[in-house]
Amino acid sequence: MPSPPKLDRDRATGIYFIRWTEPGPRGQRGRSRRQSTRTTDLAAATAYFSEWLKLERSSPAPGENFTVADLWSVYDKQHIQVRVADGGARHDSAWKNIKPHFGALRLSEIRPDTVIAYTTKRASGAIGEPANGGTVRLELSLLIACLNWCAHKKRQPPLISRDEIPHIEMPPASAPRDRWLTTDEIQKLMAAAAEMRQGERLSRAERFLWLALETASRKTAIYTLPWSRVDFETGVIDYNEPGRAATKKRRAVVPISKVLRPVLERAYRERTSDLVLDTPTDLSQSIDRIAARAGVAGVTPHVLRHTAATHMARRRVPLWLVAKILANTIAMTERVYAKHCPEDLREAVDTISGGVAL
């Protein structure tokens, strides 16, 4: 006899699981299944169980024709909101663009021309802001991840079969962005930031620009950096957040440069909260205004990070050290920045003719 779902606590780990038995063929015992709530807290597990029951009862039975929106809804509630480190901000942003084009479609309705039409609309701005090939590839890869999760054998019962997943052709990758700021542009940018300061206190945007250019860190790591992880005694900034789930976007421990130290010491004296930037709110508009005043085009957090790494490479910092500061792999760092430091190849090419003029 199949048993209804119930909440059960694992004695070894203390984690609560949802357990149930699926119906078996006539005359045979059903198969036991379980779904982890990923928590040891009874209240949280009960809330998860309640939401799980709603989804299971409201979702069409396996094998029925789901729309993409149906599948994404389950994927969002049972995977993104539970497992994704940043709470799904990137997925939410992608879904805003995926939904208008794919949301109402069933999997059998997704054909090659459907995907091409999406790529065209995203490039032209007919859906969302105009996007390059890299952005569209990311969005489509998240859609594919959703479909694969819905068909995965560990998700019981699977919402769809792998045979139902349509082939989604990726658009060509965009050429790598190679915009970086010259020393003159950096000086103009920092001068404009100082001129636009309200009062004597360093602005949030100024502090962000200094940290981005002097530590090559990603914007989210800077936005959420607390003073407790700025160690003036040892002279390092630890961008690793305790308890943060590991992702591909790793974070580094970066020394405080000679240029950055007096800026941070001043910011510390002027602090009004536990965060270096006061609050974690976005600074894009403030940075755009500073860049416009400085007459420097194309200033984004990515460009600031790329600028820091490029200047290190051009000044002959070994790429393995650049990789450590970026918290990137050596292979990725070499792929992007090797062209800026050909000095290690110069001795090799000088041997080609043996030092004799031809």
Measured distance CA(297)–CA(288) in Å, rounded:
9
pLDDT per residue as tens digits for the range 49-106: 887 776 665 554 444 578 999 999 988 888 888 777 656 778 898 999 999 999 999 9
Give percent of the chain above pLDDT 90. 38
Measured distance CA(95)–CA(152) in Å, rounded:
21
- Structure confidence at residue 249 as a pLDDT band (50, 70, 90): low
pLDDT per residue as tens digits for the range 254-277: 899 999 999 999 999 999 999 999
- Which residues, at least 6 apart from 348, have a Cβ–Cβ distance to it below 8 Å? none
The alpha carbon dihedral of 64, 70, 72, 74 has a sign of negative
The most confident of 59-63, 133-137, 239-243, 332-336, by mean pLDDT: 133-137
The alpha carbon dihedral of 65, 70, 75, 77 has a sign of negative
* Nearest partner of 215 among 291, 302, 305, 303, judged by Cα: 305
Is the pTM of the predicted complex or chain greater than 0.85?
no
Q: What is the pLDDT of residue 160?
A: 87
CB 119 within 8 A of CB 136: yes
The most confident of 13-27, 56-70, 125-139, by mean pLDDT: 125-139
pLDDT at 31 over 70: no
Q: What is the pLDDT of residue 174?
A: 66
Q: What values do phi and psi take at 6, rounded to 5?
A: -145, 160
Q: What is the pLDDT of residue 63?
A: 45
Q: What is the mean pLDDT of residues 215-226?
A: 90
Q: What is the pLDDT of residue 85?
A: 61
- Which residues, at least 6 apart from 167, have a Cβ–Cβ distance to it below 8 Å? 112
Look up tokens 């105009």; give the residue.
130
The alpha carbon dihedral of 12, 13, 19, 24 has a sign of negative
H helical segments located in the chain: 42-58, 68-75, 81-83, 89-102, 112-124, 133-151, 183-195, 204-215, 219-223, 260-269, 284-294, 301-314, 319-326, 330-337, 343-350
The alpha carbon dihedral of 59, 65, 70, 72 has a sign of positive
Q: What is the pLDDT of residue 357?
A: 53
- Which residues, at least 6 apart from 60, have a Cβ–Cβ distance to it below 8 Å? 66, 70
CA distances from 247 to 36, 200, 217, 240, 328 (A): 21, 38, 15, 12, 12
Total Cβ atoms within 10 A of residue 30: 14
Q: What is the pLDDT of residue 56?
A: 64
Domains of the chain: 1-58 (no CATH), 64-175 (1.10.150.130), 183-347 (1.10.443.10)
